[in-house]
Amino acid sequence: MTVMEQSPPALAEPEAPAVPPRPRRRRTPATWVRGGGLSTLVFLLPMLIVFFFFSWSPIVQSIVMSLQKTNFIVTEWVGLDNYVAVLADPLLGRAVLNTISFALLALLLGFPLPLFMAVLMSEVKRAKGLYSALAYLPVVVPPVVAVLLWKFFYSADADGVFNSVLGWVGIPPQPWIQSAVQAMPSLVLEATWAAAGGSIIIYLAALLAVPPELYDAAEVDGAGIWRKVWHVTLPSLRGILFIMLILQIIATAQVFLEPFLFTGGGPNNATVTILLFIYNKAFRNSLGGDFGEATALSVMLAIFLGLLSWLYFRLTNRWSTS
């Protein structure tokens, strides 16, 4: 500290003439220290160090690695070869299609359901808290536990949990995640169950903000419940709906946990998603994997999602209700 306090004036001297117009605003390291900059920095330091080691440094390293072929022992520079190779991989198309199919299914199933539930729950007059708690419960279950539990439910045997239930109403046992056709919808079903609670709480909060006079006015005009929902609730929720939609698209583009734990990408690559594809590139091959190609694809995915977020900000600025 003493060293810091002594040296700055000497350093500041040559800088002084460079900024003549506003003498009041002139800042030297000495004034910076006197103004509390040093202690601010010291307080920030733990956070900066953590971010440096666990966020920024890995980001920079992965960009570097995407230009290399490495097994962490032997490393060579290969330029953009990794990007070319990963784009030419026949599985990439499959992974992109699978991810889109997950996103679409999740949108069809997972987007309207929480909204519907929230509207229903907001109409309930008694024990609202209980319903909210019940709806939120799946979110409390750790995701890995939930998936492993559902994997058990999805047993393709006739005495599996879901198949037993189907059996009661005369439906034959389904293969669920053991079938290339049913695997993806099964994954989406679990993901919807797991995530709906969070969305329901957000929608419930948003519904509270809808002025009750609007409903009263609609009622006076003779509107039934569905017309009230259509003409009052949904327009009032426009902003939040849009945010939830874009957040869901970004989240589904990064889906990894479900396919990784449920199916490992199978059967016959029916559930390989982009992130799982990246993971497999890096880690599945026991001989060290292709970290270069994996990071190259990660960088491309990050750029794509960055663009999507930029688009999202542009659009929300223009369409926002406020």
Q: Which of 8, 143, 175, 185 binds another protein (CB under 8 A)?
A: 175
Paired with 29 in beta bridges are none
Neighbour tally for 158: CB within 10 Å: 11
* Shortest Å, Cβ 106 to another protein: 22
268 makes contact with another protein (CB under 8 A): yes
284 makes contact with another protein (CB under 8 A): yes
Q: Which of 143, 198, 239, 266 binds another protein (CB under 8 A)?
A: 266
Total residues binding another protein (CB under 8 A): 44
Residue 192's closest CA among 273, 135, 250? Answer: 135
42 makes contact with another protein (CB under 8 A): yes
On whether the CB atoms of residues 136 and 197 are closer than 8 A, the answer is yes
Q: Let me know how long the chain is.
A: 322
58 makes contact with another protein (CB under 8 A): no
Q: What distance in Å separates the CA atoms of residue 269 and residue 276, rounded to the nearest whole number? A: 11
Single out the segment in contact with another protein by CB under 8 A; choices: 108-116, 172-180, 222-230, 308-316: 172-180
Q: What distance in Å separates the CA atoms of residue 282 and residue 164, rounded to the nearest whole number? A: 39
- Integer angstrom CA distances of residue 316 from 41, 245, 308: 35, 11, 12
Single out the segment in contact with another protein by CB under 8 A; choices: 101-109, 206-214, 231-239, 266-274: 266-274
Cβ closer to another protein: 285 or 309? 285
* Shortest Å, Cβ 124 to another protein: 41
Phi, psi of 267 (to 5 degrees): -70, 140
Per-residue H/E/C for 96-155: HHHHHHHHHHHHHHHCHHHHHHHHHHHHCCCCHHHHHHHHHHHHHCCHHHHHHHHHHHCC
291 makes contact with another protein (CB under 8 A): yes
172 makes contact with another protein (CB under 8 A): no
Q: What distance in Å separates the CA atoms of residue 138 and residue 191, rounded to the nearest whole number? A: 10
How is residue 23 written in tokens?
Answer: 């003498």
* Shortest Å, Cβ 284 to another protein: 6
Contact string 1-40 vs another protein (x = CB under 8 A): x-------------------------------xx-x-xx-
49 makes contact with another protein (CB under 8 A): yes
Q: Enumerate binding residues for another protein (CB under 8 A).
A: 1, 33-34, 36, 38-39, 42-43, 45-46, 49-50, 53, 71-74, 85, 90, 155-157, 173, 175, 177-180, 263-264, 266-270, 280, 283-289, 291
